[in-house]
Structure formats: C-alpha cells, structure tokens
Amino acid sequence: MNFNSLAALYKTELFENVIPFWLNHSLDRECGGYFTCLGRTGNVYDTDKFIWLQAREVWLFSMLYNNVEPRKEWLDAAIHGAAFLEKHGHDGALNWYFALDRRGAPLVEPYNIFSYTFATMAFGQLNKATGNPRYADIARRTFEIILSKASNPKGKWSKASPGSRTLKGFALPMILCNLAMEIEHLLGEEILHARMEECVHQVMEVFYRPELGIVVENLTADNQLSDTFEGRSVNPGHAIEAMWFVMDIGRRLKRPELIEQAKNITLRMVEYGWDTTYGGIFYFMDRKGCPPLQLEWDQKLWWVHIETLISLLKGYELTGDRRCLEWFERVHAYTWDHFKDPEYPEWFGYLNRRGEVLIDLKGGKWKGCFHVPRGLYQCWQTLERIDRKATLITPTPKTETLCNENLL
C-alpha cells in the first residue's frame, strides 16, 4: 500500500475541496456565526444556527491554525464564529443554548450537553491560537459545568418521569475522552490524568461489555444491562470513534495494553456493524436482534465511516495489526465511492441501506464543518506518520488496485 500517495489524497481533499467549501459558503457576514444548513452546491436553505455546530466550526479553524499553519483566514474565521457564540450562544452564565435564529435569538433551551462540550473544545483551541485569557476562562468554566451535570446531563429539561427507569448514555464519557486532551493545556497534569483515567474506565470497563464483546449505548445507573429499546441499542460508529480517542490517551499515558484493547474493540465493532449484503456500517443495531428503536437504523452515515477510517489507521500505526489495514481498504473504498460528491465540493451525509444518496445536503442541523475535515486531517496525519516509519508492507494486487483507483 502506498501510504504516501494515500496521505496526499486525504490532504488534497481537505485543503482543495472541503475547507474552501466552508470558507466560501458558511460565514454569515451580516449577522455573525456560520450558516450550516447548506445544500449540495453550498446554497443556504435555512438560517437557524445550532450551537454545537457553531462551536465545532470554531474548533476546526482554530485547530488548523494551530496544527497546520498560522493562516490568517483560518484564524479570522474562528474568531468570527467565537464572537457570535460569546454574544448569543449562552444565557449569561455559560448555559449554552441548543439553537438560535439567524440573529442570535434563542430558539431551544440549553438542554443538550453537547452544546457545552463543543463550546469547551472551541474556546480551548482558540485560546491556543490567540493566547487570549478570556477564551481560556470560557473553556474552563464550561468544562466545570459539564462535570457538574455529568450525572444528569439534561437537568430540568429531562423528559424522564422522576423516579422512573434511569439510563445513562455512552456519548458523554466518549466525548470527555477527547475533550480532556483537547484542553489539557488548561487543566494541569494532575486533573488531566484523573479525567483521562475516569473516561477510560467508563468507556473500556463500564460500557464495553466483555460478556457481549461489544460497546453498548445505554446502561442502568448501577452499570447493568437493560433489556429495553434504549438498553439494547448499539451504535457501532460511537464505539469505533471512541476507540481512537482511547488510543490517543493510551499513547499519551504510554499504555500499550490500552491501545491494544482499543484496537481489538475497533476491529470487533467494525465487523459487528458491517452490512454484509450492501456494504457500509449500520447506524444503529439491537444487541438482541430485535427490531431497532430508530427508524433510520439501517442508514449509512458519513461520520460513522470517517471515524472508522481514523480508528483503523491509528490501530495499524500503533500496533501493526494487518487486520486494521484490511478493514481500512474496505471502508476506504466504500467511503470514497459513496460519500464523496463527484460533482461538487464536500461530502454527502446520508445514504440508504443500499448506499444511495437519501438527501444531497452538505450541512444541516446535525452535519457541519467537523467530521469530514477532522477525519481527512486525522487520516492524512496518520498516513504520513506511518509512511515516515517506513513500515514495509508487501503490496498485493488488491491494495495496488485500491490505491490506484482512488488516486485518479
């Protein structure tokens, strides 16, 4: 496999296709913030603004500025979004709304904890880029609020009846694995290590169930399996994405056994979630094979496949397990064949089970300037590291064909 050529493929797609799309179409020059509801060609079809997507875009441009090169247009784009978030994104006490109208008036109350997590990521990265202590203060204080809400993320906005069945979700500890490392420059070594250890414990020892061999999406408050719609739910993409967060922590903590475990779970969840009839990875599954709760269970989503590519590459980079490369070949081919728009910039997000485009939007309420560019960046960087290590892999006709077809 030609890692250098594959790295160039991902890098070129990022900087010549995806990033220009968002710079050209998403910045709202009149009211501030970003348009994320963008059609296939970049046309704005709705002007509502969703805090977690606003924050993700601030993070993305700040990250590129910090990690690739200090390009002024990237920093300007990040500050543009951050100014809108500071002014309109919260209630004055850093309780971050879920949605605003174009001018910044609140539409949806601060019920969603992921508005808080991505605001923390955004202002943490922007503090790195600018050195502005105000951004650091916003990130730290929001992070403290997240921790205070961890046992009841929705708080007073929860729909659950008091005293009824209580389930806790995998998504928050998963995100916290990544968030702790994102803001490590603001936490201090002792707090950072404590947070990383707790996140790893939750992901790898609580939500990963060795008796099932999979990661489950919801558990009871006392960490037991629940034979309910929510309790049987499995989200392969969440599990796989979490594993590259854990691999990064394993590298940071110099714990090869943790990396090995995360790599093995990645392989297990890819195999578990793979649609053997039409290809691609299912969005949701039921661990007992019952009818899934989610009507969209068999759709193929962009972020699931992009996050899988990252985890597989990191698994190979850090362990040398050839099975990661074999699965990478398969997922890479499916992803580039089905999600990349052959005519216009950026990628499709939603396919039906057969791999046909369901909606040709490039951004909306859930898809923004995040998974595609972050995934391209992570894959590019990982492929370059693999290539630099000069790991010798004897090419096979299959791998040669894969590389050649996708480098055209």
Q: Tell me what pLDDT residue 408 has.
A: 27
Instruction: Give the C-alpha distances (Å, rounded to integers) separating 64 from 67, 78, 156, 364.
Output: 5, 10, 37, 22
Average pLDDT value over all residues in the chain = 94
Evaluate whether 273 touches 281 at the Cβ level (below 8 Å).
yes
Which residues have a Cβ under 8 Å from the Cβ of 328 and sit 6 or more positions away?
A: 309, 312, 313, 316
Residue with tokens 């070949």: 329
Instruction: Return the amino acid letter for 205.
Output: E
Which residues have a Cβ under 8 Å from the Cβ of 227 and sit 6 or more positions away?
A: 288
Beta-bridged to residue 46, according to DSSP, are 37
- Give the tens place of pLDDT for each residue, 233-277: 999 999 999 999 999 999 999 999 999 999 999 999 999 999 999
Helix or strand run (H / E) with residue 219: strand 218-220
* Segments of 325-401 assigned E as strands: 350-351, 357-359
Report residue 267 as tokens.
């392989």
Instruction: Give the C-alpha distances (Å, rounded to integers) separating 248 from 126, 208, 314.
Output: 21, 18, 9
27-149 topology per CATH: Glycosyltransferase (1.50.10)
Report residue 240 as tokens.
């796989």
Instruction: Return the amino acid letter for 194.
Output: A
| pLDDT tens sequence for the chain (408 residues) | 899 999 999 999 999 999 999 999 999 999 999 999 999 999 999 999 999 999 999 999 999 999 999 999 999 999 999 999 999 999 999 999 999 999 999 999 999 999 999 999 999 999 999 999 999 999 999 999 999 998 888 877 777 777 778 899 999 999 999 999 999 999 989 999 999 999 999 999 999 999 999 999 999 999 999 999 999 999 999 999 999 999 999 999 999 999 999 999 999 999 999 999 999 999 999 999 999 999 999 999 999 999 999 999 999 999 999 999 999 999 999 999 999 999 999 999 999 999 999 999 999 999 999 999 999 999 999 999 999 995 555 554 444 444 434 332
Number of neighbouring beta carbons within 10 Å of residue 61: 30
pTM: 0.94
Helix or strand run (H / E) with residue 49: strand 49-50
Evaluate whether 324 touches 3 at the Cβ level (below 8 Å).
no
Which residues have a Cβ under 8 Å from the Cβ of 286 and sit 6 or more positions away?
A: 232, 233, 234, 292, 293
Domains 1-14+167-408 and 27-149 share a fold: yes
Q: Where are the domains of the chain?
A: 1-14+167-408, 27-149
Evaluate whether 383 touches 6 at the Cβ level (below 8 Å).
yes
DSSP conformation letters of 222-270 = TS----SHHHHEE-HHHHHHHHHHHHHHHHHHT-HHHHHHHHHHHHHHH
- N- to C-terminal Cα separation, the chain: 15
1-14+167-408 topology per CATH: Glycosyltransferase (1.50.10)
Compute the distance between CA of residue 407 and CA of residue 2 in angstroms, rounded to an integer. 10
